[in-house]
Amino acid sequence: MKNFYLLRGLLCCGHCGSVMGGRIYPAQNRSAYYCTRHERLRDDPYSRVKNLTKCAKGPYLRIQETNEAIWTKVVEVMEKSHLYREEIKQLSLNAKKTGFAEMVDSKSLRAQIRRSEREIQDVKRSMISVESDRIIQKRGNDVVAGVLENLDQHLQAIEARKLDLLSRLKNAAKLKRWTNWVTDFGARITELKTMKEEAKKEFLEGVVSTITAKTVGENSYECTVHFRLPYAEKGKDSITVPLVFTAVKRRATG
């Protein structure tokens, strides 16, 4: 059975920037989040880094205590956040009035993208045809150069339009995911303390962009939770969560 890690994907080392992994040692009845710098470089066939030593200050965080501390603090922030409540309220009102599906017609955008792709292929074929006319001397060089220049400008315009459509489609997908997230969690702020682990992870990924962990002393650490929006007090977009553990013997990960 695959192990579940609440904070994996969000935690990163504040000393070297590496993502942090999780490891469980059932026989030793312990588990930890740890800096994966050494493993990442060791397993990367393209890495040119010769020094494969571990991150000197890489955090080593007990999973259960870290999960509880981070979750408790995030819940506290979100329960107090006026911005979060107003955001949910406004998004809910907009959804009821217009419907996000109608606001951005993904189906129409995809159709326009396909049409642009066909136009691009048509222009490229025309350019090949004109160039062929030059080779067989059906058209003069000056004429061919002028036609190709016009076709190239037209091609650039179509490709720019396609990129714009792709960007709008991507934003529509993000908007849909956000809407789904709002629907799932917007009305459940009072349920945060009793959520199942999988639901907690979804919620965290919706409001937190990253969590930076640093070692500040012997078995003492500091986690900075960076929110996607300034949910914290006084409009701040981050909070600091101190962690202090009793002494624990590390196991070599190399």
Q: Per-residue confidence at 132, pLDDT binned at 50, 70, 90?
A: confident
DSSP, res 57: T
| 245 has a pLDDT exceeding 80 | yes
| 47 has a pLDDT exceeding 60 | no
Cα–Cα dist 161/120, whole Å: 11
Residue 144, pLDDT score: 79
Residue 50, pLDDT score: 52
Radius of gyration of the chain (CA): 27
Residue 253, pLDDT score: 42
Lowest mean pLDDT among 17-21, 144-148, 153-157: 144-148
CA atoms within 13 A on the CB side of 48: 0
Q: Of residues 24 and 173, which shows the higher confidence score? A: 24
Place of tokens 């579940």: 4
Residue 254, pLDDT score: 37
Determine the Cα angle at 25 with ends 22 and 26, to 5°: 130
Question: Helix H segments across 186-213?
Answer: 197-207
